[in-house]
Amino acid sequence: MSTQIRRVVIVGGGTAGWMSAALLKKIVGKAVSVELVESEAIGTVGVGEATIPPIRLLNQVLGLNEAEFIKQTQATIKLGIMFEGWRVPEERYFHSFGAPGKNMAFCQFHHYCTKAQQLGDDTNIWDYDLNYLCAMQGKFAHINSQDPILELPYAYHFDASLYAKFLRKISESLGVVRTEGLIERVEQHDKNGDVKQLILKSGQVIQGDLFIDCSGFRGLLIQQTLGTGYQDWSHWLPCDAAVAIPSERHEHTLPYTRSIARDAGWQWRIPLQHRNGNGLVYSSRHYSQEQAENLLLNNLDTQAMGEPNHLRFTTGRRRQQWNKNVVAIGLSSGFLEPLESTSIHLIQSAIVRLTQLFPHQGVRQDAVDEYNRQSKLEFEQIRDFLILHYHLNARQGSQFWRELREMDIPDSLAEKINLFRATGSLFRQQNDLFLESSWLQVMTGQGITPQDYHPIVDNLSAAQVKGMLGKIKQIKQQPLGQLPSHDEFLRRYCGYTD
């Protein structure tokens, strides 16, 4: 009979460790003790500074005051991502957290745009996207409206190291115990190979029933101890290195992330209250470390601060993200480049999944299998969405982009692309993180024009379609005159001073 889970031990701090600690203790509460082991001698990656809207739910569950959270983490608002030069140089498109137009019965709004375009109208889906309209004017505020057409979904940019400190305070207030120390060895049970205890260099012994591995790329428990194995996806996502550096803040703070395609990778620009986050994700087969660093430093909007931080990685996932009594969360579970800001969300979804399948009376294989099934599906769906950006390109003169354009892609992605190209139809798969509107924006931005639209659209005449689109566009424009600038919102809401 399995041992009842009373002691949970988290290995590693940073965003993954402290988010896991805070959420687990908040949800499971007094049923278990939670101890986090970390050493200040081991640094964290700490470059994940952009998020997606589900983080707002996590903050609400933890009872965070949004204004205080924004102030403490030097956060700004994120309405989406601007992709620059991804299809061809000098062209750009926006992936917003909103959806164009309005919900329509039986067919999606963009089918009406397709008909309008076939009739010679120069309209595009972003003309009807409130997130895009606000982003381009640099505006934001909470919109108090019951009309779903005026929804303004948003997330945050924040300082990941400050967020980890913020979560640590919350975790410790909930009763999480932090132990400082380096782990010298890991001991396993003789009979089943489960992790039994950690031995610190100080000689301290830390026993646990369930272990959460937040030790980063090295995977101290999930890989170094249990030898779980890794599924390598670098044949689809060949970028294997990054260089990051902060720079001085902009005079005006953009409410969106910028993703700028380069000859062998892409550059991010993330605006915070006190600085900008900058980085270059690239393929080491096409750029040397020195080339990548110089490219980044020569393409900063503001003066660099500090020294460049270099990272190496292999895109993919652990073959089991829950193995025996160890659950890998964060970089120890796998890595998908931060193109769509999913790194912090994958931490959040992993710990939520664990709480839903929490092994109160002991680890059961059926729960482990379901956890791993859901984790695998989530990683694969995000993987496909990232491949989409790279594969649908028309950039010339770059071996990197040519290889991506010509490569074989997963069947799951090919089927989705082919269906949209032929019919304009999009369907969200089970638990897909990205809604139809996200797939629509990236496919459209990367150059796919549907060859057809839903026949229900022909129930309206050309004049009626034009009139309906004009009315929706007018409604979307209405809030813009009343909204403050992004910087003014931050000043009013949390006392931000530029």
Give catalytic residues, as residue numbers.
Answer: 78
* Cα–Cα distances in angstroms (integers) from residue 251 to residues 208, 258, 279, in the given order: 50, 16, 20
The pair of structure tokens assigned to 356 is 């839903």
Alpha carbon distance 68, 494 (integer Å):
7
Alpha carbon distance 419, 133 (integer Å):
29
The pair of structure tokens assigned to 398 is 């770059």
What is the amino acid identity at position 147?
Answer: D
Q: Which residues contact 87 (CB under 8 A, 6 or more apart)?
A: 93, 392, 393, 394, 395, 445, 446, 447
**Cα-based angle 32, 36, 38 (whole degrees, multiple of 5):** 170
Alpha carbon distance 420, 474 (integer Å):
28
Q: Is 90 left (phi over 0), alpha (psi -120 to 50) or beta?
A: left
Closest CA relative to residue 26, chosen from 352, 316, 381: 352
Q: Which residues contact 382 (CB under 8 A, 6 or more apart)?
A: 336, 340, 342, 346, 433, 434
CB atoms within 10 A of CB 422: 11
Q: How far is CA 385 from the centre of its chain?
A: 12
Alpha carbon distance 340, 379 (integer Å):
13
* Phi, psi torsion values for 13, nearest 5 degrees: -105, -125
Q: Is 406 exposed, middle or buried (CB count within 10 Å of its CB: 0-12, 13-18, 19+)?
A: exposed
Q: How far is CA 206 from the centre of its chain?
A: 33
Q: What is the CA radius of gyration of the chain?
A: 23
Alpha carbon distance 354, 257 (integer Å):
30
The pair of structure tokens assigned to 447 is 């150059």
* Phi, psi torsion values for 76, nearest 5 degrees: -130, 170
* Residue bearing tokens 């207030």: 173
